[in-house]
């Protein structure tokens, strides 16, 4: 069991080494998104595809890809037994259309009844017995779920809601990019503007204009980053999750250099 950051370090350490992992029957990944390229590297190097899962402190495990069955890169899998799931429009509180993106709501015996001595937070986190996770996601026709973003990370620029994950997916597909994190920062004209912190692959060369050009080819102009900042590593917590506020601090009050 490991988080993506741990797998990345393991893969880096194994370069040029001939190791066998046939005796290990299960590799699981959770706590943070696993890039498709990392999924493929794990399967190639360790001999088995990783089983991606999802859980929360408030509920324990909720979703998992099957141990025996199709494992879809980027998907958190299917709900565990006795976990009910809805994908809801947070404003109307109605289920979104099939394939649409909305907030993931959960119901089940494993989910907390509330937050200790925080009645207001508890009341805001539940609706008619459904726990509002704060995660945005979708479900495909085969019943596999995908996390698309955290609601609190959505960028509102010029009145448009922008998902950082959508932009990150475009940048992360570039061969010269190791990983990118997209955030919104205050902007007098647009309310917020889209910016991206990018870690290049070792030995690769890439510049801001190349990244912005690729984004413009695949995204609406208003979704494209207005600034790119190159850094050596993405700030993370001990569980490997990206510290979005720390990434935002790179841009706020800092003179940007591309």
Measured CA to CA in angstroms, residue 71 lies from 51, 140, 242 at distances of: 7, 13, 24
102, 127, 151 - which closes a domain = 151
Based on the domain organization, do 108 and 181 belong to the same domain?
no
Could you report the per-residue pLDDT of 19-29, keeping only the tens digit for each? Answer: 999 999 999 99
pLDDT at residue 257, as a whole number: 42
**Residue 128 lies in domain:** 4-151
Contact (Cβ atoms closer than 8 angstroms) between residue 61 and residue 34: no
Output the CA angle 203-209-210, nearest 5 degrees: 50
In a domain? residue 256: no
pLDDT at 120: 95
Q: In this predicted structure, what is the pLDDT of residue 155?
A: 92
Confidence at residue 255, expressed as pLDDT on a 0 to 100 scale: 44
Select from 85, 195, 205, 192 the least CA-distant residue to 146: 85
Residue 199 lies in a domain: yes
Q: Are residues 40 and 124 in the same domain?
A: yes
CA gap 73, 18 in Å, rounded? 25
Residue 54 in domain:
yes
**Statement to judge: residues 183 and 163 lie in one domain:** yes
**Whether residue 106 sits in one domain with residue 195:** no
Among the candidates 105, 129, 151, a domain finishes at 151
Q: For the domain that residue 190 is a member of, what is the CATH number?
A: 3.30.300.30
Segments of the chain with pLDDT less than 70: 253-258
Do 158 and 147 belong to one domain?
no
Q: What is the pLDDT of residues 20-54, one digit of tens each?
A: 999 999 999 988 778 888 899 999 999 999 999 99
Same-domain status, 101 and 165: no
Q: Are residues 85 and 123 in the same domain?
A: yes
pTM: 0.77
CATH value at residue 48: 3.40.50.12780
Cβ contacts of 40 within 8 Å, gap of 6 or more? 73
Mapping DSSP onto H, E and C, the string for the chain reads CECHHHHHHHHHHCCCCCCCCCCCCCCEECCCCCCHHHHHHHHHHHCCCCEEEEEECCCEEEEECCCCCCCCCCCCEEECCCCEEEEECCCCCCECCCCCCEEEEEECCCCCCCCCCCHHHHHHHEECCEEEEEEEEEECCCCCEEEEEEHHHCEEECCEEECHHHHHHHHHCCCCEEEEEEEEEEECCCEEEEEEEEEECCCCCCCHHHHHHHHHHHCCHHHCCCEEEECCCCCECCCCCECHHHHHHHHCCCCCCC
| 122 shares a domain with 78 | yes
Q: Is residue 258 part of a domain?
A: no
Whether 180 is in a domain gets the answer yes
Tokens of 252: 């706020």
Whether residue 158 is found in the same domain as residue 83: no
First vs last C-alpha separation in the chain: 37
Out of 151, 184, 213, a domain closes at 151
Do 142 and 21 share a domain, yes or no? yes
Would you say 157 and 192 are in contact if contact means Cβ atoms under 8 Å apart? Answer: yes
What is the reported pLDDT for 238? Answer: 80
Position 254 scores a pLDDT of 53
Asked whether residue 93 falls in the same domain as residue 12, the answer is yes
Task: Tally the domains of the chain.
Answer: 2
């Amino acid at each position: 069991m490991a988080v993506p950051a741990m797998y990345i370090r393991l893969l880096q350490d194994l370069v040029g080494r001939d190791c066998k992992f046939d005796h290990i029957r299960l590799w699981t990944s959770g706590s943070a998104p696993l890039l498709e390229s990392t999924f493929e590297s794990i399967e190639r190097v360790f001999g088995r595809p990783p089983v991606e899962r999802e859980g929360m402190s408030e509920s324990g495990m909720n979703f998992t890809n099957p141990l025996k069955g199709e494992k879809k890169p980027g998907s958190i899998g299917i709900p565990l037994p006795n976990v009910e799931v809805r994908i809801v429009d947070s404003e109307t509180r109605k289920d979104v259309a099939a394939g649409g993106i909305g907030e993931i709501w959960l119901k089940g015996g494993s989910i907390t009844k509330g937050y200790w001595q925080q009645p207001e937070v508890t009341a805001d986190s539940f609706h008619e017995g459904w726990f509002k996770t704060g995660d945005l996601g979708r479900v495909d026709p085969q019943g596999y779920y995908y996390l698309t973003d955290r609601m609190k990370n959505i960028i509102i620029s010029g009145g448009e809601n922008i998902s950082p994950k959508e932009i990150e997916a475009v940048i992360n597909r570039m061969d010269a990019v190791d990983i990118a994190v997209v955030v919104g920062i205050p902007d007098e004209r647009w309310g917020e503007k889209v910016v991206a912190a990018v870690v290049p692959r070792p030995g690769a060369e890439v510049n801001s204009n190349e990244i912005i050009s690729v984004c413009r080819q695949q995204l609406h102009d208003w979704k494209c980053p207005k600034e790119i900042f190159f850094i050596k590593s993405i700030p993370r917590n001990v569980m490997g999750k990206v510290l979005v506020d720390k990434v935002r601090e790179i841009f706020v009050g800092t003179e940007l250099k591309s």
